[in-house]
Structure 1
């Protein structure tokens, strides 16, 4: 398996998700297992995932307050969906 670098916030969130799975199911789950499942779920709804990246900026920061938020997405018209497989 390839190694990927995650920022601290993403690592914390991943670990919180793992803890929630362990609490609710009673079964431990590795980071790799969790990431595999998340990718599988995202792949099943890949057009929604692609839509998240169709804006010029996924997140913006308000210059006055410093608050980071996700603006309304403006979708770019595209052609017919093509299967990835």
Structure 2
């Protein structure tokens, strides 16, 4: 069963470029449907990463950001346990 998928001109152009590159580099002629099917399979394999790509903003820190955060941490020399935290927060 085949279903039409609407896409803008830019996406269509990129799909055509990809199709041409596959033919050029592999010598194999593939349909745009085959390309889209393969792209979907690839997205399913890394589903969480693919879904996250649609989130607004960054969902994780880069290594540089993690390092900067850790450099800002200091040790006070005072050991704190859960009861201390509860006392501070809840009195």
TM-score by length of 2: 0.61
1:22 match: 23
Partner of 1:45: 46
Deviation at 1:74, TM superposition (A): 2.5
Match of 1:62 in 2: none
SS of the residue corresponding to residue 54 of structure 1 reads coil
Gaps of 5+ in 1: 56-72, 77-85
Per-residue CA deviations over 1:6-57 (Å, capped at 9, x if unaligned) read 11000000000000000010010100000000000011001111111121xx
Question: Which residue does the alignment assign to 2:59?
Answer: 75
Radius of gyration: which is bigger?
2
Secondary structure at the aligned position of 1:34 is classed as helix
Could you tell me how far apart the structure 1 residues matched to 2:35 and 2:49 are?
20
Paired position in structure 1 for 2:73:
none
More strand by percentage = 1
Q: What TM-score do the two structures reach when normalised by structure 1?
A: 0.65
Match of 1:6, SS state, is coil
Deviation at residue 75 of structure 1 after TM alignment: 2.1
Using the alignment, how far apart are the partners of 2:24 and 2:48 within structure 1?
31
Query: Please, what is the CA RMSD of the aligned residues?
Result: 1.4
